[in-house]
Amino acid sequence: MPENELEGMVADLRKAGFLRSEAVEKAMLEIDRIHFVHGSERPFAYSDNALPVGYGQTISAPTVVAFMLDKLDVKKGMKVLEVGTGSGYNCALLSYLVGPKGNVYSFDIISELTNLAKENMGKTGLDTGNCKLATADASCGFEEEAPFDRIIVTAAMPWFDKAHPLAKQLNPNGKLIAPVGDRLFQDLIIFDKKSGNMEKVLPVIFVPLIGGCGFKTEEHQSK
């Protein structure tokens, strides 16, 4: 029997089939989502909903977070790029999954969110020093630290194919997971660089990725 709401949330994710990896399950139990949710959203910290984190952005629903990390198969010691830090929740989970010998580079285009994410991650009481946060348009990736073992994009991308800069920044055995589609609806795609295989795995709704390889800002403002 789950002992508290966090354990209940994780047990539900497992039952629903969104959480198969033990490592991701452990990470989700260790990193309490409550630290990444504020104000009037706190009562919903363990509900399976995306929640506002300010500046028009959201923390993804636990189902989507669990599903993406499960599919991405992040291992200890890996070097991971996250595009879209938001609350820092996913970044903290990645930090736990790669362990002290791994590295996570996470970018947000909104500096206030980079700062909030740092604060939130600090509240977990865990050592997240292997996770480097910065404010930048990372829609075309982060060439300086490439190649990455894994890339996770947590904002909607208008396009992705083998010629995309993010595909080029993966190591030869690398994998990427990202929502790809229009501003309103997307499919999560998983790309395996070795086989060149690209698979649509789940219909989803993410906030748009803005910038050079994302949507144009003007379109964003007109919505």
Active site residues: 60
**Residue type at position 10:** V
Which residues, including other chains, have CB under 8 Å from residue 160's CB and lie 6 or more apart?
A: 166, 167, 176, 178, 180, 189, 191, 198
**CA 208, chain centre distance (Å):** 14
Among 68, 78, 121, 138, binds ligand SAH (CB under 6 A): 138
Task: Say whether residue 109 binds ligand SAH (CB under 6 A).
Answer: yes
Task: Say whether residue 120 binds ligand SAH (CB under 6 A).
Answer: no
Q: Which stretch binds ligand SAH (CB under 6 A): 2-10, 105-113, 158-166, 195-203?
A: 105-113
Tally of CB atoms within 10 A around 100: 11
Interface characters, 31-60, with ligand SAH (x: CB under 6 A): --------------------------xxxx
Q: Which stretch binds ligand SAH (CB under 6 A): 37-45, 126-134, 183-191, 210-218?
A: 210-218
Among 25, 32, 108, 149, binds ligand SAH (CB under 6 A): 108
Do the Cβ atoms of 180 and 186 come closer than 8 Å?
yes
Burial of 43 (0-12, 13-18, 19+ CB in 10 A): exposed
As a whole number of angstroms, the distance between CA 131 and CA 78 comes to 12
- Residues numbered 180-209 forming contacts with ligand SAH, rule: CB under 6 A: 207, 209
Residues at the contact surface with ligand SAH, assessed by CB under 6 A: 57-60, 83-84, 86-87, 89-90, 107-110, 113, 137-139, 154-155, 207, 209-211, 214
